[in-house]
Structure 1
């Protein structure tokens, strides 16, 4: 963002840089560590962290580190509570989960990741545990493939140029050209199926959820243990139910009005 932009507040940008430096890999940070991760000076990071402490969003911890507090969740909750589609979608997601007896999730793209915004876990146990707000890389997930397939050519070029496609399992697509081909296929057929590309033994299928103008803005998926569900059954039995559920969510009048106002 250009610094001469009159609508750009650099101090706010720096504060969010510090907040985003905290992660599962870095749950607690010293001033020096946060400075190294963000590229900001130590005095700047210190002022930001102390401001977050005074506001209740951070707290001092052991060994001169800082941690974020549960109050930080208010920021995410403000987004979720201001968007009624989550509450509207849940009954249909529960019906789908009951029908297929597997986990059902709704996610949005926040490149390079997807972010889970609603989830109905299966009654059966699985090897992965995901909750609302969880993030996964987009390229090896069915939810991500559907959303990446909806990007403009320029946006997809930018994503591929800035994202490291790491091999997470033996079947992960990590060649940019191969991923482009797969996304073109997803775009044409209207759904994505993943077979153990992010985690071995987990298969999933996803379809887009559209706004009132037909733009894919979210993705809905079903995840299952590969020992229980074949790729063929995902495509022939689960995908049709996913498409019907996504269409129901997409066509709801409150959903359309909300995104007309916000998008």
Structure 2
């Protein structure tokens, strides 16, 4: 009897359970946001009992969450921690044309950032080619509590999460109008959260920022308009810029699947 040999594969170092877990995460798409245990097992070609422990582990770690009696959907952790870079790339690609358009309509600089611990990390800027302008390079990190973008990003945290994040952080090393104590910061962020946008002045410039939301309605990034005080000052000017910023925010958030707030 002739034996047909198959090409050797490097299987000695593979972890089947890990492979199945990652395959399960890859099953979820924009069209299939919810799957049952039987669906996962059938696609893997195994019994439901074989995937039960894997699914429960993913749920406990936050990568999956229950969406019904026997249904599961991706958990919040999929777009955080180790997946933050991929999520950030998606946000940049989605936001870029809208920020470029916003810059062209306002002649002001626009920036996009995400939060990494207590820093606001700048991912993109739409450069305004005028003499007096504000342009912060991509890759810059600034303390969240001292910028408009950063304060918007902090609104994604509840009071307990905010307290835990800043429990060992000194705030009194930063000049006004940055808050100098944790209670001041908590009060400020609560007001920002209720308002939905932040205006911040520093070094003869003004920035107005608002949050970008994902499919679950959570703030995952922030965008701003920034320019010299001479251009940004005045209630009429600020109202015009805030309206333009809000339109861009709504369009970007819609592209990320955010529910309509209307």
User: TM-score interval w.r.t. the shorter chain?
Assistant: 0.5 to 0.7
Distance 1:247 1:98, change over 3 A: same
- 242-251 or 151-160: which moved more? 151-160
Q: How does 1:37-186 map to 2 (within 5 A)?
A: 79=85, 83-126=89-132, 129-186=135-192
The 3 A distance-change label for structure 1 pair 231 and 145 is: farther
Alignment: residue pair count:
175
2:201 to 178, 195, 204: 195
Which runs of no fewer than 5 residues in structure 1 stay unpaired?
1-77, 258-263
CA distance in 1 between counterparts of 2:87 and 2:117 reads 22
Q: Displacement of 1:117 after TM fit?
A: 1.1
Among 212, 216, 222, which residue is 1:213 paired with?
216
User: How far apart are 1:94 and its partner, in Å?
Assistant: 0.8
Aligned with 1:243 (options 236, 243, 246): 246
Distance 2:243 2:98 in 1: 14
- Secondary structure at the aligned position of 2:145 is classed as coil
Which of 226, 230, 233 is equivalent to 2:233? 230
Q: Which whole-Å CA distance do the structure 2 matches of 1:179 and 1:148 have between them?
A: 10
* Rg larger for: 2
Is residue 108–residue 117 contact of structure 1 (8 Å, CA) maintained in 2? yes
Unmatched tracts of structure 2, length 5 or more: 1-83
TM-score (norm 1): 0.61
The ranges of structure 1 where at least 4 consecutive aligned residues each deviate by more than 4 angstroms after the TM superposition are 126-129
